[in-house]
A = this chain, B = another copy of it.
């Protein structure tokens, strides 16, 4: 096994690659310079450069295309890496899934309040369409995806990218709780979503916050104790 020294070098090179992506104004889909150019530019060995690129690939910042004509392509990172890091921290704490559900209940009402103030009319239209859809009322898995989409749109509507990313990571960690198992609960959740949409449409920050808090508290009450007590574990992304 190698020392910790190349590791730090690999991180520093990764930082320089990201800084150069920004400096050049690269956008999604842009091809980065080929390996031989990077080796000269960053003055490191091939092993270290590949480690840097692997790290950025795991962070979702680049994709590595194989074969001739391949090489690193710029991607836009998604919250998967954030969720993985959080999961590993929680797994070492032996934290239960309840702590994720409670964190959402602590975070999302504040996000919803911001969304009532910040969400654009376009975003509100998209949110309303998701909330009004009755497409998945007979489909627990589909409804769960719809529910996540709803909560993600509220988080983005907050106008704060930090809170939106943290919320998106929590949505990836949270397992189906109490809201989607039965048709009656899916109907209740849909009603709760519609109440939140109306509160945002009225730009009523207090009512929006309360409506989201009520919705998540109800989900927590409906969730099964055994499910909430299960530990957070790192599973396939």
Contacts and interface: CB of A to CB of B under 8 A. Distances in A.
A1 interface: yes
Contacts of A86: 82, 162, 165-166
A82 B89 contact: yes
A89 B165 contact: yes
A213 to B, nearest CB: 11
Contact of A236 (B12, B76, B77, B162): B12
Given A54-B7, A66-B4, A89-B82, A106 B110 contact: yes
Interface of A: 1-4, 7, 11-12, 15, 18-19, 22, 35, 50-51, 53-55, 57-61, 63-67, 70-72, 76-77, 79, 81-82, 84-86, 88-93, 95, 99-100, 102-103, 106-107, 110-111, 114, 160-163, 165-166, 170, 173, 233-237
A165 B166 CA distance: 11
A63 to B, nearest CB: 7
Given A18-B88, A92-B76, A160 B103 contact: yes
A54 B57 CA distance: 13
Nearest to A107: B107
Q: Is the interface of A mostly helix, strand, loop or mixed?
A: helix
A226 B4 CA distance: 37
Contacts of A162: 86, 90, 95, 99-100, 102-103, 170, 173
Please give me the 9 A-B residue pairs with the lowest Cβ-Cβ distance, nearest first: A103-B162, A3-B66, A82-B85, A81-B85, A95-B161, A1-B64, A93-B161, A106-B110, A89-B165
A65 to B, nearest CB: 7
A67 to B, nearest CB: 8
Contact of A1 (B22, B72, B163, B234): B72
Contacts of A11: 58, 236-237
A13 to B, nearest CB: 12
Given A54-B7, A70-B1, A162-B95, A88 B61 contact: yes
A54 B51 contact: yes
Q: Which of A22, A64, A92, A235 has the most CB of B within 10 A?
A: A92
